[in-house]
Structure formats: C-alpha cells, structure tokens
Amino acid sequence: MTRKSLDCRKIPSEINCDLKMTGSEEHLLPAAVQHAVSAHGHKDSPELREKIRKSLEDETE
Ligand SMILES: [Zn+2]
C-alpha cells in the first residue's frame, strides 16, 4: 500500500512548522487535521480537510 506524506513546510503557516507526517491516507488525514487545528490554529472544517487532502504526496523513500 502506498503511504502518503504531508510536509508542513509545503503548507503556508505562520509558525514555520517543519513537521513531516507519513502514513496511509486513512490514518494520516485525521492526524494531519488534528495537527493543523492544535498546532496551526486552523478551524476543523470540510474545507480544511480538503486542503490537507490535496497537499498529501506519495511517499518518496
Ligand atoms: Zn505543522
């Protein structure tokens, strides 16, 4: 199964977050949403989920 990765450096944020998360979309997406809300101060919404989902990339290593 292809794992996805999310690199915070590729998402504009005011806190210069450099966290990188990897996992299957099923697990990564909820974790990423939670991180965006708790660490980046975003509001959980369908738009936020969609934005994060679009920024997921196939794991490269
Ligand atoms: Zn982050």
39 alpha carbon to ligand 1 midpoint, in Å? 6
The answer to whether residues 5 and 52 touch, using CB atoms and an 8 Å cutoff, is no
pTM of the model: 0.86
For 1-53, write each residue's pLDDT tens digit.
Answer: 789 999 999 877 778 899 999 999 999 999 999 999 999 999 999 999 999 99
Q: In angstroms, rounded to a whole number, what is the distance separating the alpha carbons of residues 1 and 45?
A: 28
HEC-encoded secondary structure of the chain: CCCEEEEHHHCCCCCCCCCEEEECHHHHHHHHHHHHHHCCCCCCCHHHHHHHHHHCEECCC
2 alpha carbon to ligand 1 midpoint, in Å? 22
35 alpha carbon to ligand 1 midpoint, in Å? 6
Q: Look at residue 10 in the predicted model and tell me its pLDDT.
A: 83
Query: Is the pLDDT at 61 greater than 70, yes or no?
Result: no
Q: Where are the domains of the chain?
A: 4-58
